[in-house]
A and B are shown apart, each in its own frame.
Chain A
Amino acid sequence: MTGRYVGRRLLQVLPTVAGIVLVGFLLIHLAPGGPIIALAGDSGDDEYYAFMTAKFGLDRPLPEQLATYAGNVLRGDLGVSYIQGRPAIDVIAERLPATLLLAGTALVGSSVAGVALGAWAAARAHSIRDLAVTSAALVLYAAPVFWLGQLALLTLALRTGLFPVQGMTTAGGPETGLAWALDVARHLALPALVLASQEVAAVARLTRAGVLEELAADHVRTALAKGLSDRRVLVRHALRRALLPVVTVIGSRPGHLLAGTIVVEVVFGWPGLSRLLLTSVQTRDTPILLGIFLLVAATVVLANLVTDLVYGWLDPRIRYR
């Protein structure tokens, strides 16, 4: 039964996430350097370092620190950021919407656009339009995100002035309501587009290949022989089956997307989680880093679960027990 399957898979989430957090914890603590240098800057003496080390409990043995941390996490306490002095969970939570908005828009947009473009290209394989789609996809897929981002900034934002250059809102702009939502949407367009571009390319190429293969299959010939329209055959018979590998790829995308947001958020000044991750790595802000690890690990594991479930819906042969 699907219900029991989901339950079992959800149980597997716990040890997976715990393992990832354990590895993260060890990696951070084995890496040279610590958070105090970020606080002290290029000053501070022995006394200051000793005081702060004891304050954060960094003078305790590593197993003890790990045990304390694990105990706190089980109670839902991710600790207090060394640098910001606020609960890590609050710091992470307030950045999450921005990243979800950016990555979510890019994921949905790129999936829909990628599948549509791929199928559209495959419908007229080896035509001019197919060639245009495939080569554009190849170029986009090969282009580094930071370069695409800078290019988009220079051309679409600075030269034409169609889009703002930086941030999620206008300085001193509207703070609530529809005006605010429009302001954010306008700021969202470019970073989401850049972030989506690579995903579109990957999805489109995969869809095209899959659809081409299916169009040559027996069941498609049968469907055509029954007198169904080209369009219906393409969408209902070829595309649906061709989507199986595409779903796998889309399901593994949240991880890729989060990696992509690091560059995009920096280039576009988007106040999201990835920038927090980057600065927390630089300042060795362990509570925040581990909190983000936890979140990302859970997201990726859950995304895999959702992928498997979508499989079952797409391919009637698959049954979960």
Chain B
Amino acid sequence: MGRGWAGWLMLLAVLLAACTGSEPGTAESPTATRAPSPDATATATDTATTAAPTGEETPSPTQTAAGGGTLVVAISSDPGGLNPAITTSGGTHTASELLYNGLVDLGPDLEPIPELAESWDVEEEGALYRFHLRDDVTWHDGEPFTSADVKYSFEEVLLQLHSRTQASMGPSLESIETPDEQTVEFRFSQPYAPLLQQLNVTEAPIIPRHIYEGTDPLENPANNEPVGTGPFRFVSYTPDAEIVLERNPDYFEEGLPHLDEVIMRVIPDEGSQVLAFEAGEVGWLWGVPGPDQERLAADPTVEFLQTPVNPGGANCIMTVSFNLERPIMADLRVRQAIAHALNRDQFLERVLFGQGQVAAAPISSGIPWAHAEGLDMPANDPAEAERLLDEAGWQREGDGTRTAAGVEGVDDGTPLAFTFVHFPTFSAYGELLRAQLREVGMDVTLVPLEPPVFAEQVFTARDFDTNIISYCNATDPEIGVRRMYHSSNIGEVPFSNAAAYRNDEVDRLFDEAQRTIDLEQRGALYRQIQEIAVAELPYFWIVETVGTRAYRSSCSDFQPSGHFAKTASCEQ
């Protein structure tokens, strides 16, 4: 911990002093339960009454002209390490993206904007991308940033250890060349359309070659004392407690960042995060639980920022998968009946407390050029659901569970009962779904499973009838949509094609879209895919979720994710 024994001894001394004085009395009278010593009591009351949104701090360097100040951020898990190139873990990315850069950033409509690369050319119909790098970028340790860093980051780290970049870009990439220190060329075996969407700090952070080369990137000590090019640089990391970052004075974007310091505090419990925010111990929450939001909204000094972008994945849709290998779910009419029986507005209101929207298409509205408008999604219509089930041979007597009478692959008299597998955190979805489907005579058994067990049961054992997964489309359908529908993604890899959906036409359309550079033409291909998906319903798309950030009105100019605090400033 780097504090040495002196501190611990001092603490021990304080405790011992406190114990002799007040310990037997702790449970005896409430007045004795304040704090271990008179000094500490004074400190406690002082900070509590005067606490600014950012907590207490030394008053010296916070009065800079450009806003400045300190932002304290609540994060819900210990990142374990601060190298975003070796993992897609949301915890690591939340804590570390401010330290690094990608070649390009993505604007509000996901359009690529220059970051480490100041410009780029696309040649050979999209099989060759040439990036021209900035020449004024230095690593936090003073070394210059060059094209060799980019080549190393991709070849040795991202394409092996960053699972999303490896899986999407890896199979098509032929080589990465560095003609000179300021130029990088990506060559693909065939035209590759989505590249520019996969180069931001979330999908492809660039790490320093001079520090990582020749080591195992997973075990390099720099993962805990990171050196990046980003707007903030590393100061300290106390595991499971806090991470301190300070302004990078040499940052290459003129006049940025404004904040002097960003401190991340690990607060695992959501409720405690909100309490810490209300007490002024933290000034930024990545998410606010629905029930707490109303209370916070009543406070005029609290501001919210709603966004579909999250460090772990953007544009996520809560999606019900049907196991098409099971006889009951193989029948399209049963899947349609489930879709008609579900009232998705209720999911939005009761589970998400209105944060988000009902999914209007298989691809998220956060990718506007690919999201199909005006699709014929099954509407909430229980009567139609009942009709379809009758037609499919699921007979109903009274208000009970339907039973089979002439259903293919199912013995007559079998009840219409099936499992719904979900993460424990998604149990509210399961309960609502079960209640809604019971109305039309289906008997759903909820099976809550922790993520590793869920992955094994659904994707390895394939022991489920239906499930719910938060499928994140990310910034391009190639990253997050293809894996749900393409038949090559049926297998043991978690969170791929859960339905085991197989359609040659869909496979062909995805492959063609990957090679199509023109965005409009690509969008038309994805529209065709979505029309087929809605007609065949291997999945049913419930709600698009959004994250709700909360901060104090003394701070302003945040971005939703990635470099969220790069442009922010706080009044002191």
The answer to whether A and B belong to the same complex is yes
Nearest B residue to A150, CB-CB? B271
Stretch at the interface among A159-167, A230-238, A290-298: A159-167
- Do most interface residues of chain A lie in helix, strand or loop, or is the interface mixed? helix
Assess whether B453 is interfacial by the CB under 8 Å rule: yes
Nearest A residue to B47, CB-CB? A170
- A165, B279: Cα distance in complex, Å: 7
CB distance A162 to B80 under 8 Å? no
Stretch at the interface among B85-93, B363-371, B563-571: B85-93
CB distance B89 to A38 under 8 Å? yes
- A173, B51: Cα distance in complex, Å: 13
Nearest B residue to A269, CB-CB? B267
Nearest A residue to B452, CB-CB? A33
- Residues of chain B within 8 A (CB-CB) of A68 are none
CB distance A176 to B6 under 8 Å? yes
CB distance A182 to B37 under 8 Å? yes
Stretch at the interface among B135-143, B233-241, B519-527: B233-241
Nearest A residue to B216, CB-CB? A85
B384 vs chain A, min Cβ distance (A)? 33
- Residues of chain B within 8 A (CB-CB) of A172 are 54-58, 70, 72, 244, 261, 263
Indicate with 1 or 0, residue by residue over B218-255, a CB within 8 angstroms of chain A CB atoms. 11110110000000000000111110100000000000
- A46, B491: Cα distance in complex, Å: 8
- A292, B56: Cα distance in complex, Å: 35
A155 vs chain B, min Cβ distance (A)? 10
- A57, B74: Cα distance in complex, Å: 36
CB distance A32 to B456 under 8 Å? yes
CB distance B36 to A37 under 8 Å? no
CB distance A39 to B167 under 8 Å? no
Stretch at the interface among A7-15, A109-117, A240-248, A311-319: A109-117
B295 vs chain A, min Cβ distance (A)? 12
CB distance A158 to B279 under 8 Å? yes
- Residues of chain B within 8 A (CB-CB) of A157 are 275, 279
Assess whether B471 is interfacial by the CB under 8 Å rule: yes
Stretch at the interface among A47-55, A209-217, A251-259: A47-55
Stretch at the interface among B21-29, B123-131, B407-415: B21-29
Task: Give the contacts of A136-192 with B (CB-CB under 8 A).
Answer: 136, 140, 150, 153-154, 156-158, 160-173, 175-178, 180-186, 188-189
- Also in contact, A197 and B27, with CB within 8 A (given A170-B56, A171-B55): yes
- Also in contact, A269 and B166, with CB within 8 A (given A171-B72, A172-B57, A185-B18): no
**Size range of the chain B interface in the assembly:** 35 or more
Assess whether B272 is interfacial by the CB under 8 Å rule: yes
What is the count of residue pairs linking A and B with beta-carbon distances less than 8 angstroms?
290
A284 vs chain B, min Cβ distance (A)? 6
- Residues of chain A within 8 A (CB-CB) of B399 are none
The interface centre, meaning the residue of A43, A51, A161 with most chain B CB atoms within 10 A of its CB, is: A43
Nearest A residue to B456, CB-CB? A32
CB distance B11 to A196 under 8 Å? no
Assess whether B313 is interfacial by the CB under 8 Å rule: yes
CB distance B163 to A43 under 8 Å? yes
Indicate with 1 or 0, residue by residue over A252-283, a CB within 8 angstroms of chain B CB atoms. 00000000000000111101100110010011
Task: Give the contacts of A13-58 with B (CB-CB under 8 A).
Answer: 31-34, 37-49, 51, 55
Number of interface residues of A (CB under 8 A): 89
- Residues of chain B within 8 A (CB-CB) of A83 are 80-81
Stretch at the interface among A70-78, A90-98, A221-229, A302-310: A90-98
CB distance A181 to B18 under 8 Å? no
Task: Give the contacts of B449-499 with A (CB-CB under 8 A).
Answer: 450-453, 455-457, 469-472, 479-480, 483, 489, 491-496
- Residues of chain A within 8 A (CB-CB) of B49 are 161
- Also in contact, A165 and B167, with CB within 8 A (given A97-B1, A182-B39, A185-B11): no
B351 vs chain A, min Cβ distance (A)? 20
- A275, B424: Cα distance in complex, Å: 19
B157 vs chain A, min Cβ distance (A)? 12
CB distance A271 to B239 under 8 Å? yes
- A94, B273: Cα distance in complex, Å: 24
- Residues of chain A within 8 A (CB-CB) of B265 are 166-167, 171, 269
- A97, B240: Cα distance in complex, Å: 13
B296 vs chain A, min Cβ distance (A)? 13
- A157, B51: Cα distance in complex, Å: 13
Assess whether B183 is interfacial by the CB under 8 Å rule: no
- Also in contact, A109 and B279, with CB within 8 A (given A32-B452, A39-B87, A279-B77): no
CB distance B239 to A51 under 8 Å? no
CB distance B242 to A171 under 8 Å? yes
Nearest A residue to B479, CB-CB? A43
The list of the 7 closest CB pairs from A to B, nearest first, reads A33-B452, A161-B48, A44-B163, A271-B240, A42-B495, A271-B241, A181-B11
16 pairs from A and B in contact (CB 8 Å cutoff): A41-B163, A43-B164, A85-B86, A101-B11, A112-B24, A113-B23, A117-B24, A117-B27, A140-B27, A165-B275, A167-B241, A171-B72, A193-B33, A266-B269, A268-B272, A269-B267
Interface residue ranges, B against A (CB under 8 Å): 1, 3-4, 6-8, 10-11, 13-15, 18-19, 23-28, 33-37, 39-41, 43-45, 47-49, 51, 54-58, 70, 72, 77-78, 80-81, 86-90, 160-161, 163-164, 166-168, 170, 216, 218-221, 223-224, 238-242, 244, 261, 263, 265-269, 271-273, 275-276, 278-279, 281-282, 312-313, 450-453, 455-457, 469-472, 479-480, 483, 489, 491-496
Interface residue ranges, A against B (CB under 8 Å): 31-34, 37-49, 51, 55, 80-81, 83-86, 91, 94-95, 97, 101, 105, 108-109, 112-113, 116-117, 136, 140, 150, 153-154, 156-158, 160-173, 175-178, 180-186, 188-189, 193, 196-197, 200, 204, 266-269, 271-272, 275-276, 279, 282-284
Using A101-B11, A116-B24 as known contacts, list a sample of 20 further A-B pairs with CB atoms less than 8 Å apart, ordered by residue number in A: A34-B452, A44-B163, A44-B167, A48-B166, A83-B81, A108-B23, A112-B23, A156-B33, A162-B34, A162-B44, A165-B281, A171-B55, A171-B281, A172-B56, A172-B261, A180-B7, A180-B10, A180-B11, A185-B36, A196-B26
